[in-house]
Amino acid sequence: MLTTSVTGHSHYIHFDSVKLNIGNAYNPNHGVFVAPYNGTYQFTVTACSRNAHFVVLDFHVNDVVYDRLLAADTVYDACNSKTIYVSLKENDDVYLKHEQSGDFLLANDGYGFPSFGEFFSNLSNCILYSPYICRLNK
């Protein structure tokens, strides 16, 4: 989970409060998930923004934008979630970056975060298929 709000542009998002990291595939110091196996992965990303602000998070795979998530509202604080499926090869890098669009990624414990974290932004994954292994990774 992210424990501090992020303002401005061009930030890598480092989820610094990690409650479960089986296999240590996610590095909270760098904010990068490194695929431990070839397979199809499911990532869920949740982001919030302060009222009258917005944020766009870019979901990167090996330095290429694979998908995006927008959170915005003119009156209220707003949250949005997206589930992303992606085929990865062993050692592929996955990370989130706030590039140029928007200016406020909100961290606030009043939003009732998932039970494994303290911030309402998360990057979690589940390996769905691998020819070598089938198990849940979070």
Coil, strand, or helix at residue 13? coil
User: Residue 109: inside a domain, yes or no?
Assistant: yes
pTM check: above 0.95: no
Number of independent structural domains in the chain = 1
Residue 25, pLDDT > 60, answer yes
Sequence-separated (6 or more) residues with CB below 8 Å from residue 103: 7, 8, 9, 53, 54, 55
Residue 53 belongs to a domain: yes
Residue 1 lies in a domain: no
Tens-digit pLDDT profile for residues 67-121 = 998 888 889 888 888 888 888 899 999 998 888 777 888 777 655 342 222 222 3
The mean predicted confidence, pLDDT, of the chain is 75
Tell me whether residue 16 is in a domain: yes
Say yes or no to pLDDT of 36 above 80. yes
Residue 123 forms part of a structural domain: yes
Tell me if 135 is assigned to some domain. no
Residue 45 structural domain: 6-129
pLDDT in tens, 74-89: 898 888 888 888 888 9
Q: How far, in Å, are 36, 50, 51, 112 from residue 95 at the CA level?
A: 15, 22, 26, 24
Q: What is the CATH number of the domain that holds 32?
A: 2.60.120.40
CA torsion sign, 56 to 44 to 137 to 105? positive
Closest CA to 84 of 62, 67, 61, 60: 67
Q: Which two tokens stand for residue 116?
A: 């494994």
